[in-house]
Amino acid sequence: MNLNELTIELTISTSLSLGRMLAAYILSLILAIVTGVAMARNKYVESILLPILDVLQSIPILGFFPAVLAVFITTLGPVAGGELSSIFLIITSLVWNMIFGVYSSIKSLDPSIDHLVAVYKLPLIHGFLYIYLPASKSSIAANSIISWAGGWFFLTSAEVISMGRVEYRLKGLGSFIIKAFEEDNTMAYTTGLLALFMVILVSYLIIWNPFTMKYTGTRTLLGFMKAYDVIDKALSKTWGFIVEKVVAAYNVVARVKIKSTHIIICSILPPLLYQYHTRLALDNSLYSKILEYGVDFLRVAPITLIRVYLVVVTGLAVSILLAYISHTRLKLGKIIVMSGEVSSSIPAMMWWPILLPLLKGFPQGVMMFVYLQGSLWYVFFNVLIFGISSLRESIIELSEIYNVKGRLYLSRIFIPSLLPSILAGGLSASGGAWNASIAAEYIVLGDLTVDMGGVGSLLNKQAQAGDILGVLSTSFFMSLVVVFINKTIWARILGKIRGYYVVE
């Protein structure tokens, strides 16, 4: 491949990946807004969807593979089906925190806003366009930073989809880099990585960072505000136009007295799709098989559980320390967050060439690195973006006046102020760590296979053997454990601090 061909190939691949990411982002945004608003505004929707989302969030990305591939590829063919399953897989890695972001920002709206909606009898569509959507803007902005990174991180997994012996490759930057790596094409590999860095860097500098700075008031980000303002103006204009047309159309419809119907949100339970795929009857042998998988799972679960929480604690310690540095040295803080944004976006497989030499001698270190890559960032962004911006000026002033400094400031002012963000980040980080166990505990690189044991390793081996039932059962048991821990431990801690740690 000469330089010209390489450039053309790279441009096409980059555009395709970017297109996939954008499509996944826009769909996630719509999904997050509709679901988040519905959950926050309707008790019934909330009581049904909240536990379902909790489960879906904790199902590892790999758990979606067989079901998604089966449905999309068998019904739409490998081209359109492959494309759709790729977008779907990216969505599964970026939509959850966006949904919970929208949900919690509307939940925390001042109750008098609800009275306003009720007293002036604002129709659903008006409440949606004028109140709930603008109210969740800052949370959408800050969560987009996390999601965008999550999307790139899973890009290679979403572009090179393998299930057993069958592998589907989609043209894109992720598959381009993997191919270059496999063919030992240093030139293509380096330019591919460079293109990836550029796309990530530029998207953060001109879109996500200024977007978040504008709507959350955080100052710890690097970004080109002027470039973003052009985009923001164009988007606001288009949005204003859409709102006006929607409201005008609604008024016409309302005048002829057609009642607006409620939006019914359907959730798909991927495990149920298994039957569609295999057309297997539910008989006794199936149950006993699932039970066997359960025993296998229990054997490996404790070691993964320990690793997961070790990673969460490490992530918390690192993030709090970095947050403190960012808080006291703003310029350094900006660089820290920017480096975080880029590092968190680098797809898992891109780290391999760097980690390969370490793998033989120090596999535990490599495993922990991969674990951290999939988990640290949730708590990092939560603490460094939401946390720091929630520190009240008046509290900082108070500590200056009374000369509260150093360790006392850290333990009595800084950490308690950030506690809601620290815990929210810790909760997401534990979910991320469970997901990351798949990539961290079973590493195949060329001829080298490193098996560290654990749930992730088990899932990997089952997937490689094409054991769909095994993958689904293990994912299911894993979700059960995650939900159980969330409901018994995390929910209690979060409930306890709510109300105590809100600075008035």
Burial of 72 (0-12, 13-18, 19+ CB in 10 A): buried
| Sign of the dihedral defined by the CA atoms of residues 293, 442, 156, 150, in that order | positive
**Residues 115-154 within binding reach of other proteins (CB under 8 A):** 115-116, 118-123, 126, 130-131, 134-135, 137
The distance of closest approach from Cβ of residue 240 to other proteins in the complex, given in angstroms and rounded to an integer, is 11
Interacting residues of 199 by C-beta distance below 8 A, sequence separation 6+: 14, 17, 18, 173
Of the pair 55, 122, the CB lying nearest other proteins is at: 122
Of the pair 119, 272, the CB lying nearest other proteins is at: 119
Of the pair 236, 411, the CB lying nearest other proteins is at: 236
The size of the interface with other proteins (CB under 8 A), counted in residues, is: 22
The distance of closest approach from Cβ of residue 112 to other proteins in the complex, given in angstroms and rounded to an integer, is 4
Which residue type is seen at 490? W
The distance of closest approach from Cβ of residue 132 to other proteins in the complex, given in angstroms and rounded to an integer, is 11
Does residue number 214 form part of the binding site for other proteins (CB under 8 A)?
Answer: no
* Six-digit token string for 147: 């999601």
Does residue number 251 form part of the binding site for other proteins (CB under 8 A)?
Answer: yes
Burial of 268 (0-12, 13-18, 19+ CB in 10 A): exposed
* Six-digit token string for 252: 């016409």
The distance of closest approach from Cβ of residue 236 to other proteins in the complex, given in angstroms and rounded to an integer, is 11
Does residue number 113 form part of the binding site for other proteins (CB under 8 A)?
Answer: yes
Of the pair 132, 297, the CB lying nearest other proteins is at: 132
The distance of closest approach from Cβ of residue 138 to other proteins in the complex, given in angstroms and rounded to an integer, is 10
The distance of closest approach from Cβ of residue 43 to other proteins in the complex, given in angstroms and rounded to an integer, is 15
Does residue number 235 form part of the binding site for other proteins (CB under 8 A)?
Answer: no
Does residue number 12 form part of the binding site for other proteins (CB under 8 A)?
Answer: no
Does residue number 255 form part of the binding site for other proteins (CB under 8 A)?
Answer: yes
Does residue number 43 form part of the binding site for other proteins (CB under 8 A)?
Answer: no
Does residue number 240 form part of the binding site for other proteins (CB under 8 A)?
Answer: no
Interacting residues of 282 by C-beta distance below 8 A, sequence separation 6+: 275
Stretch (H or E) spanning 450: strand 448-451
Interacting residues of 489 by C-beta distance below 8 A, sequence separation 6+: none
Does residue number 254 form part of the binding site for other proteins (CB under 8 A)?
Answer: yes
3-state SS, one letter per residue, for 108-148: CCCHHHHHHHHHCCCCHHHHHHHHHHHHCHHHHHHHHHHHH
Does residue number 247 form part of the binding site for other proteins (CB under 8 A)?
Answer: yes
Cα(345)–Cα(195) distance, integer angstroms: 13
Of the pair 40, 131, the CB lying nearest other proteins is at: 131
Of the pair 120, 500, the CB lying nearest other proteins is at: 120
DSSP letter (8 states) at residue 386: I
> Among residues 500, 333, 349, 312, which one has the least CA distance to residue 439?
349
Instruction: Let me know: does 53 contact 34? Beta carbons within 8 Å.
Output: no
Cα(324)–Cα(377) distance, integer angstroms: 16
Of the pair 6, 247, the CB lying nearest other proteins is at: 247
**Interface pick for other proteins out of 5, 229, 244, 292 (rule CB under 8 A):** 244
The distance of closest approach from Cβ of residue 229 to other proteins in the complex, given in angstroms and rounded to an integer, is 17
Q: Which residues bind other proteins (CB under 8 A)?
A: 110, 112-113, 115-116, 118-123, 126, 130-131, 134-135, 137, 244, 247, 251, 254-255
